[in-house]
Amino acid sequence: MALRDIILYPDNRLKTACEAVDSFNAELRDFVNDLLDTCASGPGAVGIAAPQVGVLQRICIVDATRARKPVPNHGKLILVNPEITAWDGFAVGREGCLSVPDYTGNVVRAEKIRLSAYDLDGNALSFEMEGYEARIAQHEIDHLDGILFLDRLISRGADLFQRKPAKSKAAE
Amino acid sequence: MKTPHWKLLTLVGPDRPGIVAAVSRVLLGAGAELGEASMMRLGGLFTIMLMVGIDGDGVHLKGLLESVRNEFKLRVHVDELNAGLHRRIDPDARVTVYGADRVGIVAEVTDALAQAGLSITDLRSDVAGSEDKPIYIMNIEGVAQQGLPPLEQALARLSSDIRVTIAPIELMRG
Ligand SMILES: [Zn+2]
């Protein structure tokens, strides 16, 4: 097990678009193992992207199994060269980032997405994601494009447009 | 870098362009560090609550601001802080409230929330609608110290003219 140091904004590597992975080899496998360990050790982290440990390649982890409350998910996902191909709906949610300690803010994300990627052997994958898992994927893929959640913050006032009221009183 | 002595500076005055810039420039000139802040226009006044890291006492800080205070007709108040930056608490519940504006709506809602264990971290409220038919809108974030169910129960008992929505804030960190 090898933990990598998480780099923090304002490190410029976090604002850099990453290169696609072109060889699915042992080196990639070793790096992803480190990335998984680093994600698992991050406080409350449900995902991580390679640039957060200074590797400017299109690789990320999306792990909605680590959500505080159970949510629909596809397990612990290793995504190589992920691409979002469809977006549907929108939702406001609270995000934080391992690379931006001590801050959380509200961000609008698509409620549902379709995503394609490759696994460690170069096999094509595709997923339909919703809610929390879709939010993680959008946050991590943003990292691969050099975009931070700080670039997408919305004001508190927008809370009224929240997705689905959990409990609504006097809805008659 | 040594740790500055943090204070909470409160400034209130008529809303005029340039207040924030003028205050910031004075504090910068005095070598102060600026921290977390909340600033907004309320009822034609501009209100500033700002954490300022600066050596010396509150009298010293007020002295620095004397010319800005005069220029912008500000009222100045300083509180000493024991804590510094990075003491934010992540809220885990969001409550939105709206209804026809009437006497007692805020007290009724916040009483119910407090008794059900909500520790408020942020509250914004607005009076909207037309002048003869005002509506009251409140956006609250807080920590549900006993979880959401007691809050849901408490809100369900509110007067029927108050619309309340409560939802968890699920933080996503990645
Ligand atoms: Zn992040």
What is the interface pTM, i.e. ipTM, of the complex?
Answer: 0.89
Predicted local confidence at residue A162, as pLDDT: 47
The residue of chain B nearest to residue A40, with distances taken between CA atoms, is B174
Look at residues B138, B140, B65 and name the one whose alpha carbon lies nearest to residue B99.
B138
- Cβ-in-10-Å burial (0-12, 13-18, 19+) of B153 comes to exposed
Domain layout of chain A by residue ranges: 12-161
Predicted local confidence at residue B91, as pLDDT: 93
Provide the pairing of β-strand B6-14 with B75-80: antiparallel
Confidence of residue A163 (pLDDT cuts 50, 70, 90): very low
Predicted local confidence at residue B83, as pLDDT: 81
Peptide bond into B4 cis (omega under 30): no
Question: Domain B6-80 sits in which CATH superfamily?
Answer: ACT domain (3.30.70.260)
What would the pLDDT profile of A92-147 be if each residue is shown by its tens digit? Answer: 999 999 999 999 999 999 999 999 999 999 999 999 999 999 999 999 999 999 99
Is the pLDDT at A168 greater than 70? The verdict is no
Is the pLDDT at A43 greater than 90? The verdict is no
Contact A80, A120 (CB under 8 A): yes
Right CATH number for A12-161 from 3.30.1330.10, 3.90.45.10, 3.20.20.80, 3.20.10.10? Answer: 3.90.45.10
Look at residues A83, A41, A35 and name the one whose alpha carbon lies nearest to residue A60.
A35
CA distance to partner chain B, nearest, from residue A79 (Å):
14
- Give me the phi and psi of B87, to 5 degrees please: -115, 25
Counting runs of H as helices and runs of E as strands, what totals does chain A give?
2, 8
Which residues of chain A does B166 touch, with a Cβ-Cβ cutoff of 8 Å? 166-167
Predicted local confidence at residue B86, as pLDDT: 79
Look at residues A13, A91, A86 and name the one whose alpha carbon lies nearest to residue A49.
A13
Is the pLDDT at A166 greater than 70? The verdict is no
User: What spatial distance separates the first Cα and last Cα of chain B, rounded to whole Å?
Assistant: 29
How many CB atoms lie under 10 A from the CB of residue A37? Answer: 14
Predicted local confidence at residue A156, as pLDDT: 65
Give the active site residues of A: 140
Among A42, A48, A169, beta carbon nearest to B164? A169
Contact B79, B57 (CB under 8 A): no
The residue of chain A nearest to residue B85, with distances taken between CA atoms, is A102
Is the pLDDT at A170 greater than 80? The verdict is no
Q: Where in chain B is the domain with CATH 3.30.70.260?
A: 6-80, 93-168
Q: How many residues does chain B have?
A: 174
Model confidence, pTM: 0.89
What would the pLDDT profile of B114-164 be if each residue is shown by its tens digit? Answer: 999 999 999 999 999 999 999 999 999 999 999 999 999 999 999 899 999
- Strand ranges across the sheet with B118-129: A167-168, B163-168, B93-100, B134-144, B118-129
CA distance to partner chain B, nearest, from residue A25 (Å):
26
CATH topology of domain B93-168: Alpha-Beta Plaits (3.30.70)
Cα dihedral sign for B79, B81, B84, B90?
negative
A142 touching chain B per CB within 8 A: no
What would the pLDDT profile of B14-55 be if each residue is shown by its tens digit? Answer: 999 999 999 999 999 999 999 999 999 999 999 999 999 999
